[in-house]
Amino acid sequence: MAGVSSCMKYSMFIFNFLFWVCGSIILGVSIWIRVSRDAQEELEIDSSLFAGVDLLIAVGSIIMVLGFLGCCGAVKESRCMLLLFFIGLLLILILQVVGGILGAVYRSQVETSLNKTLIDSVNALQGSAQDHKVFQEKFQKFERQNQCCGLLKGPEDWGNNFNNPSGNSKICECEPKKPSKDPCDLFEDRYIYKTPCGEVIIKYLKDHLVIIMGIAFGLAVVEILGLVFSMSLYCQIQRR
């Protein structure tokens, strides 16, 4: 009967040990952010982003469990653990593929939803309620950090609030620079940022979409390798 390849066995162990370490780091950092007020203030995370942090906790937990199954399955030559590892990794790969397909199919609806969100945010910029003022103060910080003004039509998005800011500084205030790529424009006798923040947000999403797709592709390759290694080791143990 054929024996189990030591090279494949320990390659599988090292691969899954690194997998487990990555899961532990993701889980640990996510829990720290979720429970630590200092971390939330330092990273400027509010309750609206807790869903993303909870998702990272779930992802870290799943990665840890799969890494544990892969490590123990390889070292103990356990077919049961290797099979559970294979099934779990296969399900994740299927979910990634389905998510990519749904993203491509419903891309137009996502863009429509984004435009609706921008329009709702414009209404918040023009509002006078207390929750609108809180949003306006945060948005002014976003404008200064990204050198932009308004969301869709620049200063017009602020309506009557343009000359009555909720913060301490003037809305969209900009210091003109001499280079040709000057971010400032003259509007109502003062210099403001001329780029709408909606363009900045859309550019940010498009740039990071490419990064996310690259990460997803890289993970898919790693997952396929994990599937091949685990099934090969499973078959070798079965034939032994």
Domains in the chain, number: 2
Residues 120 and 103 in one domain: no
Task: Tell me how far apart the alpha carbons of residues 171 and 44 are, in angstroms, rounded to a whole number.
Answer: 21
- pTM greater than 0.85 (yes/no): no
Q: What is the pLDDT, as a whole number, of residue 1?
A: 41
Q: Is residue 205 part of a domain?
A: no
Residues 102 and 214 in one domain: yes
pLDDT tens digits for 204-226? 877 777 777 777 788 888 888 88
Residues 113 and 68 in one domain: no
Q: 41, 197 in Cβ contact below 8 A?
A: no
Task: Tell me how far apart the alpha carbons of residues 206 and 201 are, in angstroms, rounded to a whole number.
Answer: 9
Q: Is residue 190 part of a domain?
A: yes
Residues 196 and 112 in one domain: yes
pLDDT tens digits for 22-32? 888 888 888 88
Task: Give the domain extent around 31.
Answer: 6-107+210-239
